Structure 1
């Protein structure tokens, strides 16, 4: 027995379909039309070091669609933002403005929280 095995040596007993199964394991994202998506807009400070961010949740879209929407919202609000796990975060409290933009785009959007 050799004790100097490389770290890349994975002890796979049986593996089917090559080396990378990530595409087969991923769940497909069902792209729904904007008028069938129930989107929630909420301003929060939780976990943001006291800074207020507007969080938009409830999307059932592909990442490319959300990236384009994020860019449009950032431009309209004149601020920064990010996309994390199908949740859009816009810096600052822009609940009302974002709600109006989403409704114009055809989303069923509501403000949630206080």
Structure 2
């Protein structure tokens, strides 16, 4: 018995509308109002891209990092509430995040 059936049992006179039955293509990630920050830095002479500013659950942010690394085919890590991607992939990452429904702000050059 899923959640819709349980709610139907509790409120039998309520009729669901199509607005309540929307599907989400962002794999259950929490979409926030504030934009994510996409930064470019060089550490030890190598370029990295940093995504910062997520206010949702840490597990959702880790899953987002995993999806980004897999789709780009690059390495990276998640620490200090930041996603660190090896290489300069700002444009590709910003496009992917916008497709998932996030607001993204480019910081730096």
TM-score w.r.t. the length of structure 1 is 0.66
Aligned-partner SS, 1:36: coil
Q: Counterpart of 1:44?
A: 41
**2:72 matches 1:77:** yes
Q: Is the 8 A contact 1:35 1:107 kept in 2?
A: yes
Higher-Rg structure is 1
Question: Structure 1, residues 40-80: CA drift from partner, whole Å, max 9, x if none?
Answer: 111111xx211100001111021110111011000111101
Q: Is the 8 A contact 2:32 2:56 kept in 1?
A: no
Structure 1, gaps ≥5 residues long: 1-31
* CA–CA separation in structure 2 for the residues paired with 1:96 and 1:108: 14
Number of residue pairs the alignment of both structures matches? 81
Aligned-partner SS, 2:88: coil
Q: Counterpart of 1:34?
A: 31
After TM superposition, what 4+ stretches of structure 1 lie above 2 angstroms from structure 2?
none
TM-score w.r.t. the length of structure 2 is 0.69
Which of 49, 55, 58 is 1:54 aligned to?
49
* CA–CA separation in structure 2 for the residues paired with 1:52 and 1:41: 13
* CA–CA separation in structure 2 for the residues paired with 1:95 and 1:73: 11
